[in-house]
Amino acid sequence: MSHYLSIHSLSHILLFELIYYIILQRSQAVRIVGTWSSRTDRFSILAKFGFQQIDPLDAEHSRGFVYGNVSSDTVGARGVLLIVPRTLINGFLDKTAGERPCDFLLKNISLLAFEAKCLPNGKGDIMRWIPCPAGKLCIEEDMPGKVVNGSQMTLRIEEPSTPQYWYVLVAACYLDSSCLWKSSVKEIIVHYDLWLTNGSPAMRYLNPFGHQFSFEEQNSAEIYMVLFILYVVVGFCQWRSVVLCNSASVFPRHQLLNFIILLETFGLALHCLNVITFSFDGQGVLLARLFGEIARLMSTCLLCLLLILLSCGWSFGSSSKILLHPEFFVDNVLQDIDIFKSWLGYAVIVIRMLQTLWFLVQIRRLINEEIDEQKAIFLAHFGAGFLVWFVHVLGLGIIASFVSALWRFKMILVITTVANFAAVACLVHLFWPTNSNRHYFLADITSHRRFVLANDDEGDAFENLLISDSADGDTDSLISGVLESI
């Protein structure tokens, strides 16, 4: 039975996912290096970072740190660098923030920040006047022993009860002699090189895979490495399965499953490279993360494709033609969007629902057309099991919408990857050559009847041999008949 797979513009899948991932690319750098000019932006948010809850038994070494250098080539201009908690950042996220006066934007900051002259009652050490004097500590650093070596400034963040996002921003504002916030008249140009860490820089060896990372991505390195090892193991099992098939050619379903495992393993390897590098330099390898995520997305798309092909009768021997459209095999990165508060999230839900309905309808049709009762039962179990894989994304999206972004990334990473791994492992088991259900696959029934010849000469020789044997047999029969008649 022949199968025709019509997939229009397969490259569009990769292009769509590449654009999709770039748009939703998470800002991961905890070492921020760059230049800011007040002429371009009066206010600029440099970074967003999740600081962990401090350990009461070791508050000094478990708090958050922001340290580095902020220098300038200009003289006389003055601005401010602020570390702002998530609860006070809304005013700066407004599109009209650049048009509002400094006293309006910073009125809430004044209630929290400490400044020796104008804000003596503030309890938060969250601001530094910039630029700092060239080659010297910032003006507010009156205790040099508490400044990280090689830095002009060091800020400490304490979260006593719960982790929280903090924002690093610079503003062209200053406090005048009357302690009122005013906009800087002169242009400010500063060059910054800042580090944001969870824990003391002097004790980074205590938690190498958590120190450099924002709270939501802490310990993601261990997660990626464990998942990578699991896929290496299942990849070895799949290779062994292909070898045990003892077939002259690899079955198409095995080829597609091999490619799925290879892509996922490759993607996880790139993610491991990125997070391990990131744990040392605070920046990682952006291309490794980008292509790693693309590889994992393509693996998930192909897994969905394989399941729908099987539900359409591919390899079960019930369908002669299968028509597929690539727009139904675009997957998503749930951790980067609020799935119920964006049009992109709605599109993801619609695509996943269409995939689920397609799989359900096709597997139902396959069961109804099946004459063998035992095979129909097998197909029912197959459909019910993998239907859970299709719908888990929708349920996860609903749950994730109510989970804090500080916990969402790791939760979705673990659940989606483990679910994909479980689906792949089940397929490896079903395709195993000694599995009791292998006879339900068409290729396994007919494979022992097929001969794959090395070249046309061998084929001709084999055919001539058969003809020769047949002719000799006919001659012997004729002679025997004549002798008997005599």
Q: pTM for the complete prediction?
A: 0.75
Tell whether 473 is covered by a domain: no
How far, in Å, CA of 260 to CA of 28, rounded?
A: 27
Task: Give the domain CATH number at 265.
Answer: 1.20.1070
Secondary structure of residue 31 in the 3-state scheme: strand
Q: Please report the pLDDT score of residue 4 as a whole number.
A: 34
Tell whether 145 is covered by a domain: yes
β strands within 348-479, DSSP E: none
Q: Please report the pLDDT score of residue 315 as a whole number.
A: 58
Tell whether 239 is covered by a domain: yes
Contacts of 369 by beta carbon, 8 Å cutoff, 6+ apart: 318
Closest CA to 322 of 338, 310, 339, 334: 310
Q: Are 160 and 235 within one domain?
A: no
pLDDT tens digits, one per residue of 278-324: 888 877 888 898 899 889 989 988 998 899 888 887 755 544 344 44
CA 104, 105, 108, 109 torsion-angle sign: negative
**Neighbouring C-beta atoms of residue 235, cutoff 10 Å:** 17
Question: What is the Cβ-side half-sphere exposure of residue 203, based on CA atoms within 13 angstroms?
Answer: 13
Q: Are 176 and 67 within one domain?
A: yes
Q: Are 194 and 235 within one domain?
A: no
Q: Are 163 and 231 within one domain?
A: no
* Residues lower than pLDDT 70 in the chain: 1-29, 204-206, 247-249, 315-342, 344-345, 439, 441-486
Q: Are 188 and 224 within one domain?
A: no
In total, how many domains does the chain have? 2
Q: Are 167 and 255 within one domain?
A: no
Q: Are 188 and 306 within one domain?
A: no
Tell whether 464 is covered by a domain: no
Domain housing 368: 220-316+326-444
pLDDT tens digits, one per residue of 134-152: 888 998 888 888 898 889 9
Q: Please report the pLDDT score of residue 401 as a whole number.
A: 79
